[in-house]
């Protein structure tokens, strides 16, 4: 193959610009990324070689080598892993093959500080080399291919790259960084060893560097032992030594692992710059034996809501890497969890299909789910500092507990909506999940109210937990359906995530107290509504019977029924649906998502005391007023009239 020039994918060009301009304060991260890629390449070879031992080519000792040449100003990371074919080099090094790329690029703002945080959610991988290199050369050959089928890839990190055929006797990949002048300190054994120990000490493969020893400079005057000497220098001996511990962190005893070790391993596997919120490390013994090291991230990835993307933890079998993103080991609603599971029982040739059917995998999945929920429960328990008791005494809080304050709130802001998916997916843990949910309410804007908090504040005689679903917080808080609840000081939970209504279909009560939507069915406050109010409502319904009949006839194509309500105080009308019916909000969401949704005919409830409703009786504009009343009720809950032009025409006619 002659030398060919290819253009980078547009997203790669933008990513390269971001890498070279926004990560100047995190330069050393490039070595972690490139060593991680080299380790992954070795893991992939080990996995493919399970079925084809010939891929080892008589070299079974997998390793990563880091070397440098001060005179040539180069730093080289070499692995003897799976390697790449010509097409794989073009595809993998010229294209971002990662879900969520378009979302990533669309969020780039040009603000270096903000974009630097973004890239931490994305992972920079191979392209991080351009932080310190003006040019990168990659020489590679895929295991099992001929020596003459090697490939050289070269790019200066601008708009294109070159590819040409080479002869490469050894399999695997060498990434050669041609260092920039301000990055020449990375051509130093001391510097490189420090970075490897900091970021990559947990890589299970040996990371090798050539030994160096001190050589004194030659005497300027050999006849005078005490004469001046030329400067001494460190010289390479030709021997290679491992500079990392080379054993998997999850296989080590917990007492031998520092918090910093756990954090750096998380950053290595997640490509995140931030520390995790929590982790759990356990060896499980019994009918199924496995080790789990799981992390709760502090920041959501950009493709979190793409349920089709690959997600899950890394699976090892007896410390042999099997697969990334083993989604069968955790339910979909916990797809944000990072970590490793190492099984002692699964076969080395396990497939994704086998994972779905294995009893051992089912036991691992249940165990990992319980551990993750346990971590979240612990974070939630310590999320707030204890308040002073009635006698003014406050419990003493340990430093460890203080360190957890606010962590669950941070987690919930990032992952709360995804956690709610578990209500319909994980029936066995539904009650545990319900205790972890948080909402804003009619009495607080902070998304911090749990069902337990709400129950503790319920009024005497209140028999239900009241809630409302809406498109956003403003629409929920200002909904006409809340008016009577505000008047009586009854708290209502505000649910504004798109998943809320679907999730609540699977939760009818909390700890024995039923959940009641204030926008479904007739309002019934039970003992909270006094007899005078009930009697007045009954009399109004009787008095308004003729008017209600006329309204029902005028709105027969829009409303299932029209009735007088006690839930309204200031508004003339509102829309509700029958108990157990689909809400108008959920129907709108389904239609927006392109899914089939039944036609929902809501019930129009009118406030008999409102001047506009009183004005209806005998008005020559009755028909127009009836439709305006309905459309305004629809607008108030975040919907749109079926015929906006007709609505505007009616309003204008009345204004004129």
Query: Facing residues of 65 across strands?
Result: 78, 208
Residues 518-526 have a mean pLDDT of 73
Assess whether pLDDT exceeds 80 at residue 12. no
Query: How far is residue 42's CA from residue 484's CA, in Å, rounded to a whole number?
Result: 66
Inter-CA distances, 260 with 203, 236, 257, 552, Å: 15, 32, 8, 69
Query: How far is residue 340's CA from residue 354's CA, in Å, rounded to a whole number?
Result: 19
Q: Which of 292-296, 318-322, 633-637 has the highest mean pLDDT?
A: 292-296
Query: What's the token pair of residue 417?
Result: 């909506």
Give the model confidence (pLDDT) of 340-354 as tens digits.
Answer: 999 988 886 677 777
Assess whether pLDDT exceeds 70 at residue 229. no
- What pLDDT, on the 0 to 100 scale, is given for residue 282? 94
Query: How far is residue 446's CA from residue 440's CA, in Å, rounded to a whole number?
Result: 5
Give the model confidence (pLDDT) of 420-448 as tens digits.
Answer: 999 999 999 999 999 999 999 999 988 99
Cα 190 off chain centre by: 37
Query: How far is residue 647's CA from residue 630's CA, in Å, rounded to a whole number?
Result: 10
- What pLDDT, on the 0 to 100 scale, is given for residue 154? 94
Q: Which of 105-114, 299-308, 581-590, 646-655 has the highest mean pLDDT?
A: 646-655
Lowest mean pLDDT among 180-189, 326-335, 430-439, 535-544: 535-544
Assess whether pLDDT exceeds 90 at residue 619. no
Residue labelled with tokens 């926004």: 22
- What pLDDT, on the 0 to 100 scale, is given for residue 68? 95
Assess whether pLDDT exceeds 50 at residue 453. yes
Residues 362-378 have a mean pLDDT of 94
Query: How far is residue 129's CA from residue 77's CA, in Å, rounded to a whole number?
Result: 11
Q: How confident is the model at residue 222 (pLDDT cuts 50, 70, 90)?
A: low
Assess whether pLDDT exceeds 90 at residue 179. yes
Query: How far is residue 193's CA from residue 205's CA, in Å, rounded to a whole number?
Result: 15
Class at the top of the CATH hierarchy for domain 249-381: alpha beta
Q: Which of 64-68, 240-244, 297-301 has the highest mean pLDDT?
A: 64-68
- What pLDDT, on the 0 to 100 scale, is given for residue 173? 96
Residues 32-57 have a mean pLDDT of 89
Query: Facing residues of 234 across strands?
Result: 214
Assess whether pLDDT exceeds 80 at residue 381. yes
Assess whether pLDDT exceeds 90 at residue 174. yes
Residues 66-82 have a mean pLDDT of 95
Inter-CA distances, 640 with 457, 472, 646, Å: 36, 15, 12
Sheet containing strand 150-155, edge to edge, reads 4-7, 160-166, 150-155, 133-141, 172-179, 74-79, 64-69, 207-215, 233-242
Q: Which of 135-144, 195-204, 474-483, 613-622 has the highest mean pLDDT?
A: 135-144
Assess whether pLDDT exceeds 70 at residue 144. yes
Q: What is the DSSP string of 348-368?
A: TT--HHHHHH-HHHHHHHHHH
Q: Which residues contact 99 (CB under 8 A, 6 or more apart)?
A: 303, 306, 309, 310
- What pLDDT, on the 0 to 100 scale, is given for residue 1? 63
- What pLDDT, on the 0 to 100 scale, is given for residue 649? 93
Contact 35, 200 (CB under 8 A): yes
- What pLDDT, on the 0 to 100 scale, is given for residue 281? 96
Residue labelled with tokens 């074919």: 85
The reply to whether domains 249-381 and 436-527 share a CATH topology is no
- What pLDDT, on the 0 to 100 scale, is given for residue 206? 92
Lowest mean pLDDT among 67-71, 119-123, 494-498: 119-123
DSSP code of residue 318: T
Domain range annotation of the chain: 4-215+233-242, 249-381, 436-527, 529-655
- What pLDDT, on the 0 to 100 scale, is given for residue 371? 96
pTM to 2 decimal places: 0.70
Contact 82, 37 (CB under 8 A): no
Q: How confident is the model at residue 470 (pLDDT cuts 50, 70, 90)?
A: confident
- What pLDDT, on the 0 to 100 scale, is given for residue 24? 53
CATH fold of 529-655 reads: 1.20.120
Q: Taking the domain 4-215+233-242, which CATH number applies?
A: 3.30.565.10
More confident residue, 310 or 646: 646
What mean pLDDT value characterizes the chain?
83
- What pLDDT, on the 0 to 100 scale, is given for residue 527? 64
Assess whether pLDDT exceeds 90 at residue 314. no
Give the model confidence (pLDDT) of 251-260 as tens digits.
Answer: 888 998 999 9
Contact 537, 564 (CB under 8 A): yes
Q: How confident is the model at residue 208 (pLDDT cuts 50, 70, 90)?
A: very high
Q: Which of 291-295, 311-315, 389-393, 549-553 has the highest mean pLDDT?
A: 291-295
Cα 328 off chain centre by: 18
- What pLDDT, on the 0 to 100 scale, is given for residue 186? 95
- What pLDDT, on the 0 to 100 scale, is given for residue 10? 67
Can you say whether residue 83 is alpha, beta or left, with left for phi > 0 and alpha for psi between -120 and 50 degrees?
left
- What pLDDT, on the 0 to 100 scale, is given for residue 99? 35
Residues 172-198 have a mean pLDDT of 92
Query: How far is residue 323's CA from residue 352's CA, in Å, rounded to a whole number?
Result: 9
Nearest to 237 by CA among 216, 219, 214: 214
- What pLDDT, on the 0 to 100 scale, is given for residue 67? 96
CA dihedral 446, 447, 450, 451 (to 10 degrees): 100
Q: How far apart are the two ends of the chain, measured CA to CA in Å? A: 79
Contact 254, 281 (CB under 8 A): yes
Residue labelled with tokens 């809950």: 637
Q: How confident is the model at residue 594 (pLDDT cuts 50, 70, 90)?
A: low
- Cβ count within 10 A of residue 461: 10
Assess whether pLDDT exceeds 80 at residue 503. yes
Give the model confidence (pLDDT) of 276-298 as tens digits.
Answer: 999 999 999 888 899 999 999 99
Q: How confident is the model at residue 110 (pLDDT cuts 50, 70, 90)?
A: low
Residues 467-475 have a mean pLDDT of 88
- What pLDDT, on the 0 to 100 scale, is given for residue 236? 82
Q: How confident is the model at residue 590 (pLDDT cuts 50, 70, 90)?
A: low
Q: How confident is the model at residue 22 (pLDDT cuts 50, 70, 90)?
A: low
CATH fold of 436-527 reads: Rossmann fold (3.40.50)
* C-alpha dihedral sign at 108, 110, 114, 119: positive
- What pLDDT, on the 0 to 100 scale, is given for residue 121? 46
- Cβ count within 10 A of residue 374: 13
- Phi, psi angles (nearest 5°) of residue 20: -75, -20
Query: How far is residue 128's CA from residue 495's CA, in Å, rounded to a whole number?
Result: 41
Nearest to 136 by CA among 118, 108, 117, 158: 158
Query: How far is residue 399's CA from residue 411's CA, in Å, rounded to a whole number?
Result: 20
- What pLDDT, on the 0 to 100 scale, is given for residue 98? 44
Assess whether pLDDT exceeds 60 at residue 265. yes
- What pLDDT, on the 0 to 100 scale, is given for residue 97? 42
């Amino acid at each position: 193959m002659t030398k060919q020039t290819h253009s980078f994918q547009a997203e790669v060009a933008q990513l390269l610009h971001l890498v070279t301009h926004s990560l100047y304060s995190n330069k050393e991260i490039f070595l972690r990324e490139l060593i991680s890629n080299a380790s992954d390449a070795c893991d992939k070879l080990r996995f493919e070689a399970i079925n084809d031992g010939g891929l080892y080519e008589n070299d079974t000792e997998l390793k990563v080598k880091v070397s440098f040449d001060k005179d040539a100003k180069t730093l080289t990371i070499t692995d003897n892993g799976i390697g790449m074919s010509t097409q794989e080099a073009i595809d993998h090094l010229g294209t971002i093959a990662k879900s969520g790329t378009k979302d990533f690029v669309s969020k780039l703002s040009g603000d270096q500080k903000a974009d630097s945080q973004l890239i931490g959610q994305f992972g920079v991988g191979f392209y991080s080399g351009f932080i310190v290199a003006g040019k990168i050369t990659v020489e590679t050959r895929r295991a099992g291919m001929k020596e003459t089928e090697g490939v050289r890839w070269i790019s200066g990190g601008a708009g294109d790259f070159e590819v040409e055929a080479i002869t490469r006797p050894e399999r695997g990949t060498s990434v050669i960084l041609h260092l920039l002048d301000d990055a020449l300190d990375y051509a130093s054994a001391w510097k490189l060893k420090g970075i490897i120990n900091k970021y990559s000490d947990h890589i299970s493969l040996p990371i090798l560097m050539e030994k160096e020893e001190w050589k004194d400079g030659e005497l300027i005057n050999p006849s005078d032992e005490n004469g001046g000497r030329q400067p001494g220098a460190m010289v390479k001996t030709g021997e290679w030594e491992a500079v990392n511990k080379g054993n998997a962190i999850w296989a080590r005893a917990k007492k031998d692992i520092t918090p910093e070790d756990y954090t750096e391993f998380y950053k290595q596997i997640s490509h995140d710059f931030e520390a995790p919120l929590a982790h759990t490390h356990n060896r499980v013994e019994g009918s199924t034996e496995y080790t789990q090291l799981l992390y709760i991230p502090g920041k959501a990835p950009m493709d979190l809501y793409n349920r089709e993307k690959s997600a899950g933890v890394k699976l090892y079998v007896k410390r042999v890497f099997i697969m990334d993103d083993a989604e069968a080991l955790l339910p979909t609603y916990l797809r944000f969890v990072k970590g490793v599971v190492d099984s002692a029982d699964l076969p080395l040739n396990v497939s994704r299909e086998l994972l779905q059917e294995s009893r051992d995998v089912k036991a691992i999945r249940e165990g990992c789910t319980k551990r993750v929920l346990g971590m979240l429960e612990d974070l939630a328990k310590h999320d707030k500092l204890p308040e002073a008791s009635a006698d003014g005494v406050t419990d003493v809080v340990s430093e460890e507990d203080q360190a957890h304050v606010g962590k669950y709130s941070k987690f919930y802001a990032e992952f709360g909506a995804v956690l709610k998916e578990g209500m319909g997916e994980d029936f066995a843990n539904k009650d545990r999940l319900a205790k972890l949910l948080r909402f804003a309410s009619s009495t607080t804007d902070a998304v911090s109210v749990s069902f337990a908090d709400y129950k503790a504040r319920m009024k005497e005689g209140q028999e239900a937990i009241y809630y409302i679903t809406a498109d956003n917080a403003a629409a929920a808080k200002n909904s006409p359906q809340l008016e009577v609840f505000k008047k009586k000081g009854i708290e209502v939970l505000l649910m504004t995530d798109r998943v809320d209504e679907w999730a609540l279909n699977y939760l009818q009560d909390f700890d024995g107290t039923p959940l009641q939507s204030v926008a479904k069915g007739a309002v019934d406050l039970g003992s909270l509504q006094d007899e005078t109010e009930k009697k007045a409502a009954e009399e109004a319904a009787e008095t308004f019977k003729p008017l209600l009949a006329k309204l029902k006839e005028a709105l027969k194509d829009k409303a299932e029924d029209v009735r007088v309500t006690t839930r309204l105080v200031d508004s003339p009308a509102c829309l509700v649906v029958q108990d157990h019916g689909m809400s108008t909000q959920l129907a709108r969401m389904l239609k927006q998502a392109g899914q089939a949704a039944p036609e929902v005919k809501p019930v129009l409830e009118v406030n008999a005391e409102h001047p506009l409703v009183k004005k209806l009786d005998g008005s020559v504009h009755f028909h127009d007023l009836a439709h305006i009343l309905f459309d305004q009720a629809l607008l108030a809950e975040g919907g749109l009239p079926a015929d906006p032009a007709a609505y505007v025409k009616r309003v204008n006619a009345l204004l004129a």
